[in-house]
Amino acid sequence: MASTSQQIIDEPPVSPDAAIGASAMRKATRRLIPLIALGYGAAYMDRVNISFASLQMNRDLHFSATIYGFGAGLFFLSYAACEIPSNLLLYRFGARRWLSRIMVTWGIIAILMLFVRTPWQFYTARFLLGVAEAGFFPGVIFYLTQWFPQELRARAISRFYISLPLSSVVTGLIAGPLLNLDGHLGLRGWQWLFLVEGIPAILLGVVFLLLLPDGPQQATWLTEDERTWIIHHVRNDPSLIGENSHALGAALFDPRVWQVGIFMLLMLGSSYAYTYVAPDIIQRATHLNTSKVGYIIAALSLLGAAAMLLNAIYSDRVQRRNPESNYPRYMHVIPWAFLISAGFFACSLSTNPISVVASIGTIIIAYNAMQGPLWSLPGSFFQGRSAAAGIATMNMIGMIGGFLGPYFVGFAKDLTGDYQRALLFMSLPMLLGAAIMFYLRAETRRRLHKT
C-alpha cells in the first residue's frame, strides 16, 4: 500500500483521453508561446540593433570596422561565460523570477548604450549586455522541455523562435524612422534607436513576473487532468529510454553536448558574421537609403519566419512516426547547413544588387528553417537539472561563434577594403557543421539498433 501511495506521488496517473492532451497543449501554447516570443524578440532586437545604429554611430564616433566587429562580438563572450550559471540559477529560483530579472537588467543596459562615446565604453556596454542577457535563450528552451513532449517540441520552439526573424522585421521597419530623428532633443538618431528599443524589455520583464508560471504544477489555468497529462508525457519521453537523463556530470561531459555545441558555434559564427553587416552590405550594393535597406531586411526576415514554421511542422510530423528516436531530426537540419554555405559563396562572388540580396536572403531563410528541429534535439538527451546544464553548455559553446564571426568580418574588411574575401571564407564553417550532423545521425542510428 505504501509503495502504491509513493508511486501516485512520484508518477501521477495518466488519463487515457487524448482530448485532455490536446486541450493541455492548446492552453500551454496560447498562454506561454506569445509571451515568450515577445520576450525573445525584445532580446534579439536589443542584441542586433547596432547593425542599423552602426550606419550612423561608426561615423559619429570614428569606429573602424575592427572596433565595431570586436564590440559587436564581445557580447557573446560574456554571454557564453555566464550561460551555465544562469541556467542553473533559473532551475533553482524558477523561470518566472529569473527570466524577469534577465529582461529588466538587459533592457536598462541596452538603453545605456546611448551614452557610448569611446571604443572602451562601447566594449564595456556590449560586455555587460551579454552578462545581463546570459541564459535567456537556453533558459526558455529548457522551460519549454518541461511543457511540450518531444514529438511536439520543434513546433513549440519554432512558434516562440519565430520572434527572431519577426524582430528583424520590426527592427528593419522602425530603424529608418528612428535614425531619422537625428538631432531631436539633442540626441543622434542611433541614440534614439537604443533608447526606444530598450524600453520593451523592461516592460515585458514585469509582465513575465506577473503572468509566467514556473511550470505545469503552478499553472492555475490547467485542470488537474491536463497537468497530469503534461507531467507524464514529458517525463516518459520514448527517446530518453535507456539514457542517464538526470546526472549533471553526464550532461556536461556527454560527447553529443559538445558536438551539437560546436555545430552551434559554426552556425552562430556564420549567422552573426552577416547579421551585423547585412545593412551595410545591402546599402553598398543597392545604394538605397537606410529606410529602404530596412524594408529589404524586413521582407527577407518574413521569408525566414515562414521557413521556420513550415520546417518545424514537417519535422514534428515525421517525428511522430518515429517517437523512439530523434534520428529524423538531423535530416531537417543538414540541407539548410549546405544552403547557408552556398549563400555565403554566392554573395562573395557578386556585387550585383539582386544577387547580393538573393544571397543574403538564402542565408536568412536557411538559418531560420533549421532552428526548430535543431533546438528540439537537446531536450531529447536529458531531463531535469542535467537538461538545464546541457542546453546551457551547448549554447555557451555556440555563443563563442557569435564573437568570432563579427570580429573576423570586421577585421577582414579593414584589411582588404571590402567584405568579399571574408564572405568567401564564411562559406566553409557550415560545411563542417553538416558533417557534424551526419556523424550525430549515424551515432543515433547505432544507439537505436543497439537497443
Helix ranges (H only) for 321-425 are 334-348, 353-369, 371-376, 384-416, 420-425
Answer for the pair 201, 40: CB distance below 8 angstroms, yes or no.
Answer: no
* Lowest mean pLDDT across 72-76, 194-198, 342-346: 72-76
Answer for the pair 394, 386: CB distance below 8 angstroms, yes or no.
Answer: no
Q: Does 14 map to a domain?
A: no
What pLDDT score was predicted for residue 118?
Answer: 93
Q: Beta-carbon neighbour count of residue 11 at 10 Å? A: 13
∠277-282-283 over CA atoms, to 5°? Answer: 100
What pLDDT score was predicted for residue 397?
Answer: 87
Band (pLDDT 50/70/90 cuts) for residue 135 is confident
What pLDDT score was predicted for residue 377?
Answer: 78
Which domain CATH number covers 131? 1.20.1250.20
Region 180-209 average pLDDT = 89
What pLDDT score was predicted for residue 248?
Answer: 55
- Cβ neighbourhood burial of 26 (10 Å; 0-12, 13-18, 19+): exposed
Q: Which residue has the higher pLDDT, 391 or 268?
A: 268
- Give dist(CA 346, CA 423) in Å, integer: 9
Band (pLDDT 50/70/90 cuts) for residue 92 is confident
Q: Does 2 map to a domain?
A: no
Q: Does 314 map to a domain?
A: yes
Region 349-360 average pLDDT = 90
The helix or strand, by DSSP H or E, that contains position 364, with its residue range, turns out to be helix 353-369
Q: Beta-carbon neighbour count of residue 85 at 10 Å? A: 13
**Which is nearest to 302 in space by CA: 162, 158, 407, 121?**
162
User: Nine-digit cell at 426?
Assistant: 564564411
Residue 242 has pLDDT above 60, yes or no: no
- Cβ neighbourhood burial of 205 (10 Å; 0-12, 13-18, 19+): buried
Region 351-377 average pLDDT = 89
Answer for the pair 161, 367: CB distance below 8 angstroms, yes or no.
Answer: no
In the chain, the percentage of residues whose pLDDT exceeds 70 is 87
Q: Which residue has the higher pLDDT, 387 or 107?
A: 107
Residue 362 has pLDDT above 90, yes or no: yes
H helix and E strand count, the chain: 21, 0
Q: Does 260 map to a domain?
A: yes
Contacts of 451 (CB under 8 A, 6+ apart): 241, 242
Residue 140 has pLDDT above 60, yes or no: yes
- Across 232-269, b (16+ Cβ under 10 Å) vs e yields bbbbebebbeebebebbebbeebebbebbbbbbbbbbb
Band (pLDDT 50/70/90 cuts) for residue 124 is very high
Phi-psi domain of 278 (left: phi exceeds 0; alpha: psi -120 through 50; beta: other): alpha
What pLDDT score was predicted for residue 10?
Answer: 46
Residue 382 has φ and ψ, to the nearest 5°, of: -145, 175
Residue 146 has pLDDT above 80, yes or no: yes
- Give dist(CA 329, CA 308) in Å, integer: 14
Region 383-406 average pLDDT = 77
Contacts of 19 (CB under 8 A, 6+ apart): none
pLDDT in tens, 43-59: 888 877 888 888 888 88
Task: Looking at mean pLDDT, say which of 105-109, 163-167, 243-247, 254-258 comes out highest.
Answer: 105-109
Contacts of 258 (CB under 8 A, 6+ apart): 393, 397
Q: What is the mean pLDDT of the chain?
A: 82
Q: Does 197 map to a domain?
A: yes
Residue 15 has pLDDT above 70, yes or no: no
- Give dist(CA 434, CA 428) in Å, integer: 10
Chain-centre distance for alpha carbon 232: 28
Contacts of 36 (CB under 8 A, 6+ apart): 140, 143, 144, 160
Band (pLDDT 50/70/90 cuts) for residue 278 is confident
Region 119-131 average pLDDT = 92
Q: Which residue has the higher pLDDT, 250 or 418?
A: 418
Q: Does 11 map to a domain?
A: no
What pLDDT score was predicted for residue 449?
Answer: 66
Residue 96 has pLDDT above 70, yes or no: yes
Q: Does 6 map to a domain?
A: no
Contacts of 354 (CB under 8 A, 6+ apart): none
* Lowest mean pLDDT across 181-185, 223-227, 335-339: 181-185
Four-point Cα dihedral 49, 55, 59, 65, nearest 10 = 80
What pLDDT score was predicted for residue 437?
Answer: 92
Region 340-345 average pLDDT = 94
User: Nine-digit cell at 399?
Assistant: 555563443
Name the residue type at position 275. Answer: T
What pLDDT score was predicted for residue 44?
Answer: 81
For the chain, what is the domain count? 1
Residue 270 has pLDDT above 50, yes or no: yes
Residue 3 has pLDDT above 70, yes or no: no
What pLDDT score was predicted for residue 241?
Answer: 41
- Give dist(CA 427, CA 342) in Å, integer: 7
Q: Does 7 map to a domain?
A: no
Cα dihedral sign, 43-274-157-294: positive
Region 246-257 average pLDDT = 68
**Which is nearest to 69 in space by CA: 52, 56, 81, 51?**
51
Band (pLDDT 50/70/90 cuts) for residue 6 is very low
Q: Which residue has the higher pLDDT, 292 or 12?
A: 292
Write out the DSSP string of 210-225. Answer: HH--SSGGG-TTS-HH
Domain with 81, as residue range(s), is: 20-450
Contacts of 18 (CB under 8 A, 6+ apart): none
- Give dist(CA 68, CA 51) in Å, integer: 9
**Which is nearest to 97 in space by CA: 13, 25, 181, 205?**
205
